[in-house]
């Protein structure tokens, strides 16, 4: 192959800079970077912990398409076929990226992937500068987007995974049991009744990044927006970034309140908690219905 001239290389460099800057300046990229930093400030993203994905709107995709790489990556098989995600584009955090750095360098810490027309493979079309790849949990994000898009009639656009301290600790204390966890959240903070009336699901302890973890999470996400990964973290889904961060925050805060109240009781019979009748009346005031199987 002919070696490109200095001129051609110069043009290529300018094109890359323009492509980077043009996508980085979009409101949705800035909002994702800010959310990542907000999560970092909460202490939920030690090292490269956590990942986030956003399903772009058709308008955002067409506005960015001319800045996608001319030499797009190879199709990468996902080992699963997701219903309803054919040809969709996602912004995804890069594997190994640190949430505190996304705002400083979006084109390295984030990338855009496009799903193929059969919904079982993706390719990188923007970002991942320096040879990055989508998060190691991308299979989970992908299947969960498929499930949540279907159950929310297309409203859900965010899947967000974090390592919130108290929620992980509460999981250990309550044997990572969905019913005990859901009740503890509802009883500790009324806001969690409003945001999470369907309760929180918990998977078994499964390997991070595994297809088994992705599958178990998506089964739970048929019924709930939020799932605890025992001794690892929480993954939640929402329509927009503020709702995703707010949901994670509510789960974490309710967990912290439960643990603090239980610790303050020091071995007594446990914190004084609202009864089922109390929980039902808060739910009624909020106009939501609590998942019945987690009551009683």
Work out which of 16, 42, 136, 152 binds ligand 13P, going by CB under 6 A: 136
Give the strand pairing for 226-229 and 201-202. parallel
Closest distance of CB 136 from ligand 13P, Å: 3
C-alpha–C-alpha distance, residues 133 and 110, integer Å: 9
Work out which of 4, 10, 58, 208 binds ligand 13P, going by CB under 6 A: 208
Tell me which residues are annotated as active site.
137
Residue nearest to Zn ion (CB): 233
Total residues at interface with Zn ion (CB under 5 A): 1
**Closer of 47 and 117 to ligand 13P (Cβ):** 47
Q: Does 50 bind ligand 13P (CB under 6 A)?
A: yes
**Closer of 199 and 233 to Zn ion (Cβ):** 233
Q: Does 144 bind ligand 13P (CB under 6 A)?
A: no
Closest distance of CB 50 from Zn ion, Å: 6
Closest to 99 (Cα-Cα) out of 163, 9, 188, 5: 163
Q: Of ligand 13P, Zn ion, none, which one does residue 96 interact with (CB within 5 to 8 Å by kind)?
A: ligand 13P
Q: Does 164 bind Zn ion (CB under 5 A)?
A: no
Q: Does 137 bind ligand 13P (CB under 6 A)?
A: yes
The residues of the shown chain that bind ligand 13P, judged by CB under 6 A, are 48-51, 93, 95-96, 135-137, 161, 208
The residues of the shown chain that bind Zn ion, judged by CB under 5 A, are 233
């Amino acid at each position: 192959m002919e070696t490109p001239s200095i001129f051609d290389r110069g043009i290529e460099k300018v094109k890359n800079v323009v492509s980077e800057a043009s996508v980085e300046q979009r409101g949705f990229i800035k909002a994702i970077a800010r959310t990542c930093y907000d999560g970092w400030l909460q202490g939920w993203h030690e090292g490269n912990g956590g990942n986030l994905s956003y399903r772009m709107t058709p308008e955002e995709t067409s506005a960015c398409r001319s800045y996608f790489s001319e030499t797009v990556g190879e199709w990468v098989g996902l080992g699963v076929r997701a219903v309803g995600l054919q040809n969709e584009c996602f912004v995804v955090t890069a594997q190994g990226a640190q949430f505190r750095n996304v705002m400083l360098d979006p084109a390295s810490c984030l990338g855009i992937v496009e799903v193929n027309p059969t919904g079982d493979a993706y390719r990188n079309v923007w970002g991942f500068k320096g040879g990055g790849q989508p998060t190691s949990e991308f299979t989970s994000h992908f299947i969960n987007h498929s499930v949540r898009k279907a159950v929310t009639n297309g409203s859900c656009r965010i899947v967000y995974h974090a390592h919130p301290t108290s929620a992980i600790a509460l999981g250990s204390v309550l044997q990572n049991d969905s019913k005990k966890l859901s009740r503890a959240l509802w009883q500790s903070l009324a806001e969690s009744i409003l945001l999470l009336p369907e309760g929180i699901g918990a998977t078994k302890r499964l390997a991070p990044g595994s297809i088994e973890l992705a599958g178990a999470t998506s089964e739970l996400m048929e019924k709930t927006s939020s799932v605890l990964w025992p001794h690892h973290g929480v993954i939640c889904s929402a329509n927009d970034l503020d709702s995703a961060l707010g949901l994670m925050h509510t789960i974490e805060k309710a967990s912290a309140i439960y643990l603090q109240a239980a610790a303050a009781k020091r071995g007594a019979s446990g914190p004084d908690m609202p009864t089922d009748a109390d929980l039902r009346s808060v739910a009624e005031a909020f106009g939501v219905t609590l998942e019945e199987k987690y009551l009683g």
